[in-house]
Amino acid sequence: MAEEKTQLGEVTQETSELIQQATEKTTQKVIEHTHKYNDAYSAIDKIIEGFWERVPYFLIALGVILIFWLIAQLFKFFVKKTLSNRSYTRQNLVLVLNRVGSSVIIFFGFLIGLVIAIPGFTPGQLMSALGIGSVAIGFAFKDIFQNLLSGVLILLGEPFKIGDDIIVSGMEGTVEDIQIRATFLRSPDGRRIVIPNATVYTSAVTVNTAYPRRRCQFVVGIGYEDDVQKAKSIIMAILDKDQLILSQPAFNVNVTQLADFSINLTVTWWVDTQENSTGNSISTVQEHVIEAFAEHGISIPYPVQEVKVYRGESIEDASGRAKQST
């Protein structure tokens, strides 16, 4: 009996020790986790406190950037107001000063805003970062940089200006805008065409409106039985009566081809595009030529195809006749 009591006491003591050890370990773990949470909460509090401390600097930085943006807008207005009214000023030069100058002003404002908003930031750090990544950036944005440089060269060289009618790589349209990256055209049927500046700069460009005088031309055919000199005289009289057709360079009518069905006459004259377009002038002259030829009995031939149908023959006879004729 005494031994059982002794064993029971030992078991009770061991159980108490285990419970005490478990309690100590649990308490220690709780304390450790509490310290971790306290550290996290402290870090979050510091971040929030630091953010609220930087809020005035962020607002000042935004104000500085806004001021520089306003300065850029004033610069663009000043350049446009000062240079646009001078006769010697090229239109694209104004675009270059507006876009490049305003971009530089805004960039400097952005740098100053970063210096104010970010502690310890200096423009030298930004330049160093750009220098380290310049090779990778160059490969990644090669086409973009090429278009930017081509856009600046186009604006400075001014091979054409806004409002000109040009042809680039088989695409024709009126120049709506010349930006740093691309040139925007409006096609004759009302569509917008965006051409990268690198393509424009390296391709042959035809400027239809580079000079006010434009040549108009069309071809009209008359029959071999008609009087060529009479037809030429009629056309010359029509050109001479039109007040919108220039007398110099002189207009002319020449025989250019003896075709299968007609004698082709090429009519050439010049107009001032500031007074009349080439399309309207060609349409008007052609209408007068048709009316005058009909009045004077001069024909305008066209191909005629005869279809002969043989009746009373079988399909075999008709096919045999066709083979013999060929």
Quote the domain boundaries for residue 192. Answer: 158-207
Q: Same structural domain for residues 236 and 193?
A: no
265, 220 Cβ separation under 8 angstroms: yes
At residue 166, what are phi and psi to the nearest 5 degrees? -130, 165
Q: Same structural domain for residues 121 and 22?
A: yes
CATH code of 173's domain = 2.30.30.60
221, 300 Cβ separation under 8 angstroms: yes
Q: For residue 164, what are the contacts with CB-CB under 8 A and spacing of at least 6?
A: 174, 175, 207, 208, 209, 210
Q: Same structural domain for residues 196 and 273?
A: no
Q: Same structural domain for residues 226 and 261?
A: yes
Q: Same structural domain for residues 164 and 243?
A: no
Confidence band (pLDDT; 50, 70, 90) for 61? confident
- Owner of token pair 């377009």: 277
Q: For residue 111, what are the contacts with CB-CB under 8 A and spacing of at least 6?
A: 123, 126
pLDDT at 96 over 90: no
CATH code of 265's domain = 3.30.70.100
Number of structural domains the chain divides into:
3
152-185, pLDDT tens digit by residue? 788 778 888 888 899 998 899 999 888 878 899 9
pLDDT at 67 over 80: yes
Q: Same structural domain for residues 104 and 173?
A: no
Q: Which residue blocks in the chain are alpha helix, DSSP H?
A: 2-83, 91-117, 123-132, 134-140, 142-157, 197-202, 228-241, 278-295, 315-325
212-268, pLDDT tens digit by residue? 888 999 999 999 999 999 999 999 999 999 888 998 889 999 999 998 889 999 999
Asked if the structure places residue 139 within a domain, the reply is no
Over the Cα atoms of the chain, what is R_g? Answer: 43
Mean pLDDT of 291-308: 84
Distance CA 241, CA 283 (A): 15
Q: Same structural domain for residues 125 and 20?
A: yes
Asked if the structure places residue 26 within a domain, the reply is yes
Asked if the structure places residue 283 within a domain, the reply is yes
26-38, pLDDT tens digit by residue? 766 656 666 666 6
**Confidence at residue 238, expressed as pLDDT on a 0 to 100 scale:** 93
